Amino acid sequence: MNVTRVAAGLVLLPGAFLAGCGPSGVPQPRVVHVEVPPPLEVVRAQLERYVSGQSLDSEREVFSTWVNNIRATDPDTADWVAKGFAEIEAKPAQIRAIAQKMLERLPP
């Protein structure tokens, strides 16, 4: 009787491992499209945050990247934005006023 149970167990054991195999549980790859905003829109959004009360934080590390992204299409505007960011870094207590002034002059 015990030999029969052991033999039946050995026959059924491989089936237990095969039950979970197959492509049904494998996630399919998905393509996600991410829309990157234009460089001036990134700057505009940050300036709006400053006007609404956000203080100068770690985003100052990407100011030069934002300026370089603008420079690819509009070097004059990039120079002007760089000067504005430099003023914001030099006078963080006046960040709201500087950002408001920059928003008024920022091209559409």
pTM of the model as a whole: 0.69
Residues 58-97: tens digit of each pLDDT:
999 999 999 999 999 999 999 999 999 999 999 999 999 9
The CA–CA distances, whole Å, from 60 to 7, 30, 53, 63 equal 71, 34, 16, 5
The CA–CA distances, whole Å, from 2 to 5, 8, 65, 74, 102 equal 5, 10, 75, 85, 87
